[in-house]
Amino acid sequence: MSFEEKTTWVGAIVSALVAGAYSALVVGRLWRVPVSEIAYQRPLLLAVGATIAMTIVGTILVSIGTAVSAEITGNGSVDDIDRRDERDDHINRRGELVGYYVSSAGALGALALAMLRYDQFWIANALYLAFAVGGIVSSVAKLIAYRRGF
């Protein structure tokens, strides 16, 4: 498995876990509290920050694990971490494009909510959902391309 594929796995898992945790927290409040009274701002900012921080830490851990594995087993080398080929670039480009389309469609939905004057809660969460789903779909598209080709 290439280093790029490993870091794609990190991004997909982190995005899914953090988005799931945030959604469980907020949806749990929906049943008990009116939407206008839900304090979603701090959890939303924490979710975005956690996604960024956990992805960075996960990538560092994968880098260390790849380097240690290369030294112990003798398969590959530390230089494999920095090695990207044309295939990685094409897969990354295609995956990001798919994620961009999903994020753009979600952002249009959030724009429609804003034009219809929905509560800020719905608009902010629609934007977060659009970007989270776009990131996950991008990662899944990349992983499929790594496994099946494109």
Tokens at residue 89, please? 């670039």
Number of H helices and E strands in the chain, helices first, is: 4, 0
Q: Give percent of the chain with pLDDT exceeding 90.
A: 67
Closest CA to 51 of 147, 127, 111, 136: 136
Sign of CA pseudo-dihedral 50, 51, 56, 59: positive
CA 111 to chain centre: 21
Give the pLDDT mean for 17-45: 91
Instruction: List Cβ neighbours of 103 (8 Å cut-off, separation of 6 or more).
Output: 130, 131, 133, 134, 135
- Inter-residue contact 5 to 146 (CB < 8 Å): yes
Q: Is residue 99 pLDDT above 70, yes or no?
A: yes
Q: Is residue 63 pLDDT above 80, yes or no?
A: yes
pTM for this entry: 0.85
**Confidence at residue 86, expressed as pLDDT on a 0 to 100 scale:** 85
Q: Is residue 39 pLDDT above 80, yes or no?
A: yes
Tokens at residue 105, please? 């469609």
**Confidence at residue 78, expressed as pLDDT on a 0 to 100 scale:** 55
Within 10 Å of residue 66's Cβ, how many Cβ atoms?
20
Domain edges within the chain: 3-148
Tokens at residue 145, please? 């391309």
Provide the mean pLDDT of the chain. Answer: 90
Encode 126-147: b = buried (16+ Cβ within 10 Å), e = exposed: bbbbbbbbbbbbbbbbbbebbe
